[in-house]
């Protein structure tokens, strides 16, 4: 169950951003073009995630990105990775904190409680911080329950909306060019790149076989793809391209279901909240491990850096949910594509001192796959500048 739970942590970390951002970002391209773009990005991010898993299994004591980078890229590589890692997690923590505050505010308004987003996400962050500090087994159990509930909510939403899906909506698309598709690839890339939790999960499953580690990663990457396609199918099929393209935040997406039953609207809101919470758990776990590994073993200091500092930043960057995901996409190119690529190249050198495992894992594909991964990173990096 630890491996299955780890796959759900990996999947849940990706789903928070993607479930909420994908309909708003991709609607202009229509369902079929969007599905093709998601599949391409899924292939690239999954391979890069496997490369990082390879590096983690071949190095000693790789409990975070910091230690994995140190054992593969040296001290300078570790410092560069740490800077990027903190930039990435700052963007993601801000995005998820803002999203959670917005959701709590809109959900509580429905029952007559006017709680400001700032108060809402502050209470949430401090409580979730206690779970993360308690340990990975607690995160695993909580995330497993939340994820299963989230998938159940997704099926309820899809089943409820199925009768109202118009096939004509799926083939709709606004006028766009190839450069427009490339331009928005960075945000979609962020929605698949849950690679930040891999060192923590490999450490958590240190007794697992290499095949089990590989399958854990594959399952954790496939689940988001299936969920994204299903969610996009339901949203575009019901609301149409023009309507969804006008949304700027999460609460607008939920409000669009006003024409449906109040129960369905509540289910969509709960589903969206669960998607954010599972993602928040994965990101905060990775950041907490990073802080303990790179800055201080003291739980109080690591807690403050992980949960209190992002609260301050979220207040400064309110209403920037999509923008934060966009910035994260740029940082992720270095951290989630080129970083694992460099680490994999290093651990495959004949003179690299491998960890004392009975077996080691090497991702298939050889040199051509490594070159393709590098070019995939170039594509995402260019898309960020085009944005």
Sketch the domain layout of the chain as residue ranges.
2-386
Q: Looking at the predicted structure, is the pLDDT value of residue 17 above 60?
A: no
CA angle, 284 then 286 then 292, to 5°: 100
Query: What does the pLDDT read at residue 262?
Result: 66
Q: Looking at the predicted structure, is the pLDDT value of residue 54 above 60?
A: yes
Query: What does the pLDDT read at residue 20?
Result: 65
Query: What does the pLDDT read at residue 219?
Result: 94
C-alpha distances in angstroms, 178 versus 224, 288, 308, 376?
25, 39, 41, 16
pLDDT in tens, 218-235: 999 999 899 888 888 888
Cα distance between residue 104 and residue 117, in whole Å: 7
Mean pLDDT on 249-255: 66
Cα distance between residue 236 and residue 238, in whole Å: 5
What is 2-386's CATH number? 1.20.1740.10
Cα distance between residue 233 and residue 23, in whole Å: 9
Mean pLDDT on 307-324: 71
Q: Looking at the predicted structure, is the pLDDT value of residue 361 above 90?
A: no
Query: What does the pLDDT read at residue 62?
Result: 64
* Reported pTM: 0.82
Q: Which value, in Å, is the radius of gyration of the alpha carbons in the chain?
A: 20
Residues 6 or more apart in contact with residue 211 via CB below 8 angstroms: none
Query: What does the pLDDT read at residue 373?
Result: 93
């Amino acid at each position: 169950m630890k491996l299955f739970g780890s796959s759900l942590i990996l999947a849940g970390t990706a789903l928070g951003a993607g479930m909420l951002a994908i309909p708003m970002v991709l609607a202009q391209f229509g369902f079929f073009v969007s599905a093709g773009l998601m599949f391409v990005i899924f292939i690239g991010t999954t391979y890069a995630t496997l490369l990082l898993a390879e590096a983690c299994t071949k190095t000693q004591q790789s409990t975070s990105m910091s230690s994995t980078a140190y054992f593969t890229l040296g001290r300078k590589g570790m410092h560069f990775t740490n800077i990027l890692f903190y930039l990435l997690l700052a963007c993601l923590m801000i995005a998820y904190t803002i999203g959670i505050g917005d959701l709590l505010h809109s959900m509580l308004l429905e029952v007559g409680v006017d709680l400001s987003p700032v108060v809402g996400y502050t209470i949430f962050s401090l409580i979730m911080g206690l779970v993360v500090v308690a340990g990975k087994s607690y995160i695993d159990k909580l995330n497993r329950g939340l994820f299963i509930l989230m998938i159940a909510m997704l099926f309820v939403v899809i089943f409820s909306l199925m009768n109202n899906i118009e096939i004509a909506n799926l083939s709709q698309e606004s006028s766009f060019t190839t450069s427009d598709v490339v331009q928005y690839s960075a945000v979609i890339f962020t929605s698949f790149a849950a690679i930040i939790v891999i060192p923590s999960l490999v450490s958590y499953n240190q007794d697992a076989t290499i095949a089990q580690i590989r399958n854990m990663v594959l399952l954790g990457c496939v689940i988001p793809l299936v969920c994204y396609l299903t969610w996009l199918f339901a949203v575009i099929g019901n609301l149409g391209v023009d309507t969804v393209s006008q949304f700027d935040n999460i609460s607008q997406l939920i409000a669009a279901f006003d024409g449906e039953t109040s129960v369905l609207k509540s289910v969509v809101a709960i589903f969206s909240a669960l998607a954010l919470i599972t993602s928040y758990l994965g990101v905060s776990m990775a950041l907490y491990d990073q802080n303990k590994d790179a800055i201080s073993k003291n739980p109080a200091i690591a807690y403050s850096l992980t949960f209190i500092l992002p609260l301050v930043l979220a207040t400064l960057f309110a209403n920037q949910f999509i923008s934060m995901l966009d910035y994260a996409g740029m940082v992720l190119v270095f951290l989630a594509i080129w970083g694992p690529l460099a680490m994999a190249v290093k651990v495959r050198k004949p003179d690299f001192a491998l960890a004392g495992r009975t077996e080691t894992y090497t991702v298939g594909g050889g040199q051509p796959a490594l070159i393709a991964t590098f070019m995939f990173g170039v594509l995402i990096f260019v898309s960020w500048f085009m944005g």
